[in-house]
Amino acid sequence: MISFLNLKQINQQYLEELSQAARDVIASGWYLLGERVSKFESNLSKYVGVEHAIGVGNGLDALRLILRGYIELGVMAVGDEVLVPANTYIATILAIADNGLKPVLVEPDTNTYNLDLSQLERHITSRTRAIMVVHLYGRVCWSEGLESLAAQYNLRVIEDNAQAIGASWRGRKTGSLGDAAGFSFYPGKNLGALGDSGAVATDDAELADVVRALANYGSRVKYVNEFKGLNSRLDEIQAAFLDVKLKYLDIENRRRREIANAYCRFIDNSAIVLPAGRGHAAVFDEEEHVWHLFVIRSEARDLLRRHLEAEGVQTLIHYPIPPHRQGAFSEMAALSLPVTDRMHETVLSLPISPVMTDIEVERVVSAVNNYSAHSFSISQGLQA
């Protein structure tokens, strides 16, 4: 079976360095908010190209803390609206709702899976304060039009960069494009820790300062609490692991691109829609995509999934239920989001990871190519 993502194998590559990092942290006797967190923050900010990076507990908290920071700074207030793509992972929307802000769901573009930037303006009201863009599946969501729209309406642009660390737009890395960005280092992300962690990146010194305090009980000076903060800190041991893995991120992303290019070149099946690049062909700018996920679409998605399973290829669905159809957001159940609904019915993620071999890639390609919705249904005794 070709597994969707083999985390053990990914981390095994760096076993010696990771073990040494763990030993050093254990021996140091210092486990939170120490020099390893500072060092990783400094390396991350250099990598991304921002003034400030703040390590936090996870990616959801990174986004929550950015919005809380803006509320504390008076940039936004409870009840204000934040535009967000309707097909994102639910964390993006939870971060908005958690702060008493109103998520305004905007349909994605079927071809890029990203926020349909042409739909933004008609959702802007007097209460809109920010646009939360998500570089979904590792693909950059950015344009000059987005920058000028944000400037015109005085909106903050916050990047959910959980899936796209290492991608860039015209030489600028994601996470440095907007006013602030949230990162996740969940183990399965392109830069994965060995547990939970995340980061906030920004050039805004005031926001950075407030976020740093909010993540540590709302305190800048020990036992002096200026804000009703939370406890969301990056562990020294995770920072040490992340510093090891950050060095290899570009190499890993390059391998992901190689695999994605092979899929785009060699998958040839009229029942399957490949991720579309420019001009709707599978052609991508070198840096615009870091392929956190390789997502195809198919009308009979569940049949295709069973076919691939039978061929020894594990797939996943990102995501099976859109946020507005979740029980958690029953207040959004009446929204009409046909593009989002269609997407969730048809998407399927093929295995992609830096440790996949060429032979595994070829096996995935041939398993996808020999799928025929009709013949597979017959062989399984199903109605086509």
Ligand X SMILES: *Cc1c(COP(=O)(O)O)cnc(C)c1O
CB of 59 to ligand X, least distance (A): 2
196 vs 243, which CB is nearer to ligand X?
196
Which residue from 117, 133, 134, 343 is in contact with ligand X, where contact means CB under 6 A? 134
Closest CA to 200 of 22, 68, 73, 288: 68
Question: Cα–Cα distances in Å, from 322 out to 90, 160, 318, 340, 343?
Answer: 8, 17, 9, 7, 9
CB of 4 to ligand X, least distance (A): 15
Residues 280-309 that bind ligand X (CB under 6 A): none
160 vs 235, which CB is nearer to ligand X?
160
Cβ-contact 137, 167 below 8 angstroms: no
d(CA 40, CA 372): 48
CB of 315 to ligand X, least distance (A): 17
Question: Cα–Cα distances in Å, from 384 out to 159, 210, 370?
Answer: 42, 57, 16
Q: Does 235 bind ligand X (CB under 6 A)?
A: no
CB of 134 to ligand X, least distance (A): 5
CB of 179 to ligand X, least distance (A): 17
166 vs 198, which CB is nearer to ligand X?
198
Question: Cα–Cα distances in Å, from 382 out to 172, 243, 277, 303, 304?
Answer: 50, 51, 35, 9, 13
d(CA 295, CA 230): 35
234 vs 361, which CB is nearer to ligand X?
234
Q: Does 141 bind ligand X (CB under 6 A)?
A: no
CB of 362 to ligand X, least distance (A): 28
Structure tokens belonging to residue 230: 């939370």
CB of 321 to ligand X, least distance (A): 15
Q: Does 163 bind ligand X (CB under 6 A)?
A: yes
The length of the chain in residues reads 384
Which residues lie closer than 8 Å to 247 by C-beta, 6 or more apart?
A: none
Which residue from 162, 213, 246, 267 is in contact with ligand X, where contact means CB under 6 A? 162
92 vs 168, which CB is nearer to ligand X?
92
The pair phi, psi for residue 215, each rounded to 5°, is -75, -10
137 vs 284, which CB is nearer to ligand X?
137
Residues 183-212 that bind ligand X (CB under 6 A): 184, 186, 196, 198
88 vs 253, which CB is nearer to ligand X?
88
CB of 160 to ligand X, least distance (A): 5
Residue nearest to ligand X (CB): 59
199 vs 276, which CB is nearer to ligand X?
199
d(CA 290, CA 82): 26
Owner of token pair 């609490």: 225
Query: How many residues of this chain bind ligand X (CB under 6 A)?
Result: 15
Structure tokens belonging to residue 293: 């996920």
Q: DSSP for 184-234?
A: E--TTSSS--SS--EEEEES-HHHHHHHHHHTBTTEEETTEE-S---B---
CB of 232 to ligand X, least distance (A): 10
106 vs 361, which CB is nearer to ligand X?
106
Question: Cα–Cα distances in Å, from 127 out to 40, 103, 117, 156, 329?
Answer: 37, 11, 19, 13, 21
Residues 2-61 that bind ligand X (CB under 6 A): 58-60
Residues 79-108 that bind ligand X (CB under 6 A): 88-89, 91-92
The pair phi, psi for residue 101, each rounded to 5°, is -95, 160
Which chain residues interact with ligand X by CB under 6 A?
58-60, 88-89, 91-92, 134, 160, 162-163, 184, 186, 196, 198
